[in-house]
Structure 1
Amino acid sequence: MPAEFFLDTNMTETNNTRKRVAIVGATGYSGAELTAILARHAEVELVALFSSSSTARGPVTPTLPQFIAEPFTMEALLAAQPEIVFLCTPNEVSANLAPQLLDNGVKVIDLSGAFRLEEPSMYPAWYGFDHERPNLLGEAVYGLTEYCNGELKNARLVANPGCYPTSILLALRPLTFAIDREQPVICDSKSGVSGAGKKADLNFSFAELFGNFKAYGVGQHRHEPEIRQQLHLGDRAPVVFVAHLLPVHRGILSTMHIGFTHAMTEQQIADAYQRVYQHAPFVRVLPAGQLPELKNVVGTPRAEIGFQLLHGGRRAVIVSVIDNLLKGAASQAVQNFNRMYGFAETEALV
């Protein structure tokens, strides 16, 4: 590993077949995790790291001092000649940058919400901006890796899922065939504060969070339409999503309350998960009645799912846990990258 890594605009093409990769937003929490993963990826040549700021230059993090993020300009990014760019940038920034990169023949994996929703009309209400390239919403592959079959191999643009939706969708999608669509699907999620990013905000300060626990964004959280869209339950099944802030750095625990159209057995639930995840290296389903905990997954690229049947099998509580910065962001992005290029899905992740 080099003593210092930074953009070299005089960099020449190497003789190997590794993919030339750049990251914009490398100094954020997810961007730093992504940098660390890709730095050990056998098939990657990191050709450029940028902060999402146009002025700051410095280490990606104090723990990765050898990796220097440069001030971002599109000219500098294109000069590095990447084949693919990971965008760890705010929603509107990604919405602006991704089309420019695609127009220059560069593939994009976007970790923001800029391309997750299918309907352009939803962006003003949920994200606060009008989408200038709505045609790309139909092209973007929604990168919930375990549900991407062959789409990633030909993708130019991948919309990495949100952290809360990842925890919820992995737990519920195998069961949608039996969910009663006349009953609300209640999704109660708790996240560590790193999910809010590095921006200065009193609500996310130590003094406000230590010894505290609170709900936020009720009825207004932008992950709610993403969850509804990807569950494919139709309009009759209302999704109630409530996010909470835990006074911990990282991790998400989601508890889902669902009803079934008919009584289900523990074996039927286990079989449904087995059909979907038997070959999924980063999803672990626990035995019936055993529920996952944050400590099982923090610092790992893995999701864990547990369930408990209630009311004679007519209802269930499903619990899932992920690391919001890894399976909820960086490691899932690398899973998608690996599938795009036909690499082992576990490359750089185990």
Structure 2
Amino acid sequence: MSTERTDPVATIDRAALRANVRALRDRVHPATLMAVIKDDAYGHGLDAVLPVLAEEGIEWFGTLDPAAAVDVLERLPGARAFAWHLTADSDLDAAVGAGVDLGITDRAALERVIAASAAAGRPARVHLQVDTGLHRGGTSSAGWATLVARAADAERSGLLRVEGVFTHLAEASDDDDSRAIAELHEAADAAERALGGGPRIRHIAASAAAFDREDARAAMVRIGAFLSGIAPGSGRGPADLGLRPVMTLTAEVVSVDESGAWLGIGGRDGLLRRAEGTTVLLGGARRRVLRVEPLTTLVDAVDATVGDVAVLWGPADRGEPTLQELADQMGTIGEELVARLTPRVRRRVTG
């Protein structure tokens, strides 16, 4: 089998992205839509995605880590970038200096940001996170008053400005989410009383809750995967949400032997071994994936020709698998499949 190959291609449909942005913005209105673009815009590429979001009037961007937020602000002066994953390695001095909105999970994070603010000579923008049951960061109700009091003291000293209060929903059940929403508002009410100076931005919901629950939208919603047409799964696909998948992943046949056709994509490109047993579209028909190697993937297509193009996932316009179909078959979520794609997969932009 030849080891030569043409790099696989992830085609990014900007027209689909634009349509998704407009549909979701209308859906959550009057709440502000924060576009979450973590993991290089869920593997779609910031270079492809960011200009469309800016053209569509998106002003808030969620990046997870502060360095990515600084990158966004360098690309889009005047935008707002929110980062809430502050690690020991995070360059908070650069983040504060650039004007990043920082999510504060606990007292230790708050003290680090206050120190960075003093070093930068400018007040930091912060959002205080209350833990309402997901246990993925945030301060519990028992420690909330202490955190808020310290933030209020730092705000009065000119070291920071508390821009908002936020949480993450567990989305385990409607009842759990309703309780979490109520807890968020109780915590925000308490924070606003302690801080004075009017209301702060409240944000609760990510993609699914923002789409489904009006009471979870508050002042702002954080939407990421849905912008790319990636649905939550469990039998619910993008068409059910009025969205269109943005990415189509293709790979060429690089060799054919008695085992089948070998595609120029493999594990080192980010393809999971669990793709074995799923199908691709090749030669106008679905072909079974037999084996995933580091550089290539074998499919059941002995009649294929070198240079033929297989579609691993897409919007299903030609009968190819959708990302949702594959994620369900592989026991994962669509975000994992796209975010795993490495730079070995060439991004191509259309629309």
- Give the alignment's TM-score, normalised by structure 2: 0.31
- Give the alignment's TM-score, normalised by structure 1: 0.31
Instruction: Find the structure with the greater CA-based Rg.
Output: 2
Which has the larger helix fraction? 2
